[in-house]
Structure 1
Amino acid sequence: MIAGLHAVGANDAQAASGLLALCLLVGLICIILPWYFKMPISFAWSTPGAALLVAAGSTTNNFAAAVGAFLVCGVLIVLTGLWPALGRAITRIPKPIASAMLAGILFPICLTPVTAAVEQPALALPVIAVWLILLRLAPRWAVPAAMVVAALGIALTAGTAWLTSPASQPALVFTAPVFDPLVIVSLGLPLFIVTMAGQNVPGFVVMSTFGYRPPPQPILIGSGIVTAVGSVFGAHAINLAAITAALMASPEAHPEKSKRWVATVTSGVAYLVLGLGAGFAAALVAASPPILIVAVAGLALLGALVTSLTGALDDPHHRITAIAVFLVTASGIALLGIGSAFWGLVVGGIIMFWLNIGRPKPDLHPDAHPDRSESPSPA
């Protein structure tokens, strides 16, 4: 995130302000909407949007113009929420495709503990060992303990230089937006597209995978408003979470589906606390090998990967479609500035349409066709 803001012209103070604004606004919306709807609706800043910023260094080095593009992105997200037909279309995704796309998103992340164990054995192996031991003895504490061990390892190996870095004490810095048409077209519109296609669509998919159907309108309007508000402080885009949503909407958060929203509210409080020390957190993460941070997330998401793969392959009539979606999403390809999650949905929709056009819907009633759970009918 810091690298992306620097790429579009932010100085150290503006970049730290952007991270602080993101933490505070994500924390507030993670508390308000889940508490109101009693669903684990989780939010995050746009990860593909941050990647877009890193690649947008040639677009502008005028941070005020980039802020104007952030503001336009927020307004577009609000307009999407005000158009109910578009909001409904985003959430109407068949379960096999939804589960396969989620599995494709999670798969590369769940591979990172293996890679980290080879590339950074001194840091990664203790994290994996603690996670594995507690997975047997106290499963609910396995991931938090792994996170603590990772943080201690980073602090011990990085020394104390990160504590005195200029960005370690951030404050909100207001930047008046400049609306440059070229920057809006080259940065603002792509940021809106990748945020919708790479975060909001997968976010709704994750929720539906675990049996939740949150109303799209207040979610999109709310995230668009906080994006617009945060833009003048350097925040690029806030949206539904996808990866972390799989943690809080899954049975690992709570065995009872009706109580998992508490995990999301708790995460909102944690975001607010993290925001107060966003500079220290950014400095610590910057001092660590990036693969170690992702490896801890990979350990946390193994259960969600199993659930999504099971859901993707549960219906034998859609297994080829599901595998295609999984492969395209897991490939990590990016076309036209849009990530693989979106293209996985496109490929899945095309294959499902082609394989089912003109054919009667299969009767999966177990009493009528007891053998169909094993092999699809040639008809």
Structure 2
Amino acid sequence: MAGRVQPLLAGVVTALVGFASSFTVVLAGLRAAGASDAQAASGLLALCVACGLAAAWLGWRHRIPMSVAWSTPGAALLVATGPPPGGWPVAVGAFLVSGALIVAAGLFPPLGRAVAAIPKPVAGAMLAGVLLPLCTAPVHALVELPLVAGPVVVAWLLLHRFARRWAVPGALVVAVAAIALTAPPAGLTGAALVPSVTLTMPAWNASALVGLALPLFLVTMAAQNVPGMAVLVGYGYRPPFGAALRATGLASLLAAPAGGHAVNLAAITAALAASPDAHPDPERRWVASVTAGLGLALLGLGAGAATALVSVAPPILIEAVAGLALLGALATALASAVADPATREAAVVTFVVTASGVTLIGVGGAFWGLVAGCLMLLLFHRRSPPTVPPADGPGPSDHSSGGRSATPTARRTRPSATEPIRSAGT
């Protein structure tokens, strides 16, 4: 009996932690992209349902705990980019293009390998630049609203020390209490607590395709899908990467008209369903991911109440909670960016340009940061000089192997579609 209940409980915890830890980031991103409160609530509901269905399908079909989530870094990108030229319909069009690119990466492995060719330091630096504006929000909140933001930050610190997975949900609970004590009594009067699907006719323009759709695809692949696969491989699974991309890309396409920005493999909460805590038997842990998916779909019914609560809260307080949720991702991205001294300057240029939030010809800083970093690598790349054999005959190693190197040449293996992209993950 306990063996049957354990993965179910792990799935419930995964759903609760995944939703509570980052729904504020999603709402902040959708509203920054031009969505109204009703459209943002619709987007959160669509993401919950799409993620839940994709997780349930992948887990049941492949018997692997493949957790699915929305793109939290993608939502942070929306905050950093702001509303595209043309407003919310153009943002929805960018969501559709990003989803189509994810499906294409699942159908055509060369596209996935092209994404993998982006240097890891540059990808990490771009992600760090995207996350930085939100991660500074707790500092601003402490200055602007010390009596309200102070308890939130203290709760996060204490729980981060003693119960790390509950740090952000605990900070959210304290923030909700603070909002309830400080919000106007009639603040929620007339608010639509039950979400409804609000469809938007998409629109497209070139600047949004380059400045939003492409960066959203790259951030989602590099910061979510690749690490999500790495977590599963680390626990001994051989997940079908192509099938995962096709399923999550299709879920993104279905959620986009209702306001959902991107669906992908979970990276932060993936270990909750894939670790031995979910079940001692690795072949039974898929139940946890399916349960998490169904639980997340049910939590989507609270999208209206969550959006109404956010609408009456001080914006800086909501951004502060979102920033606390992203601090770990920022630390990982920065570590990835500056790990290699040879590419450190290019990574710093990428980070600075991305974090500047500059907009040029209607294209946001994330794209220009990626371009600047890659140009730096091309301009300052130094090839190591070729090894010249000694002029006075073969060296000691040649004598021991009949004139041939004693070290066999490593064979290059071409990655298959079922292997994770080994590239700019965080």
TM-score, scaled relative to structure 1: 0.70
CA distance in structure 2 between the partners assigned to 1:316 and 1:230 by the alignment:
41
8 Å CA contact retained: 2:124, 2:333:
yes
Residue identity matched to 2:302: G
2:264 to 230, 236, 240: 240
Q: Is the 8 A contact 2:95 2:262 kept in 1?
A: no
Question: How well do the aligned residues superpose, as a CA RMSD in angstroms?
Answer: 4.5
- Where do 1:227-306 residues align within 5 Å? 227-232=252-257, 234-240=258-264, 247-248=268-269, 268-269=293-294, 271-306=296-331
Letter of the structure 1 residue corresponding to residue 220 of structure 2: Q
Which structure would you say has the larger Rg?
A: 2
Residue 340 of structure 2 corresponds to 315
- The question of whether the paired residues in 1 share the 8 Å contact of 2:125 and 2:350 is answered with yes
Question: For residues 304 and 3 of structure 1, what CA distance do their matches in structure 2 show?
Answer: 16
**Residue from 132, 153, 160 that aligns with 2:178:** 153
Runs of 5+ in structure 1 lacking a partner?
Answer: 363-379
- Stretch of structure 1 that moved more, 204-213 or 86-95: 204-213
CA distance in 2, matches of 1:2, 1:96: 27
Per-residue CA deviations over 1:113-162 (Å, capped at 9, x if unaligned) read: 11110012121101112222333444443332212101111122224535
Specify every segment of 5 or more residues in structure 2 that has no aligned partner in the other structure, as ranges: 1-26, 388-426
Decide whether aligned partners of structure 1 residues 92 and 33 sit closer, same or farther in structure 2, where only a CA change above 3 A counts.
farther
SS at match of 2:71: strand
Partner of 2:71: 44
The answer for the alignment partner of 2:220 in structure 1 is 199
Distance apart, 1:33 and its partner CA: 4.2
Contact 2:44–2:259 under 8 Å retained in 1: yes
Change (3 A) 1:218 1:290: farther
Partner of 2:190: 165
Contact 1:77/1:221 (8 A) holds in 2: yes
Residues 69-122 of structure 1 deviation map (CA, whole Å, 9 limit, x = unaligned) = 866664455345323211221123333333333333333333221111001212
1:240 counterpart SS class: strand
1:323 Cα offset (Å): 2.2
How many aligned residue pairs are there? 347
Q: Indicate conservation of the 8 Å contact 2:67/2:270, yes or no.
A: yes
* Residues 19, 235 of structure 1: 8 Å contact kept: yes
Other-structure match for 1:78:
103
1:338-349 mapped onto 2 (5 Å cutoff): 338-349=363-374
CA drift at 1:209:
8.7
How far does residue 226 in structure 1 lie from its aligned partner after superposition? 2.0
Taking structure 1 as reference, are residues 340 and 3 closer, same or farther at Cα in structure 2, changes over 3 Å only? Answer: closer
With over 3 angstroms needed to count, the CA separation of the structure-2 counterparts of 1:192 and 1:200, relative to structure 1, is same
Aligned residue runs from structure 1 range 61-76, under 5 A: 74-75=99-100
Q: After the TM superposition, which residues 354-373 of structure 1 pair with which residues of structure 2 at under 5 Å, given as runs?
A: 354-360=379-385
Conservation of the 8 A alpha-carbon contact between 1:12 and 1:166? no
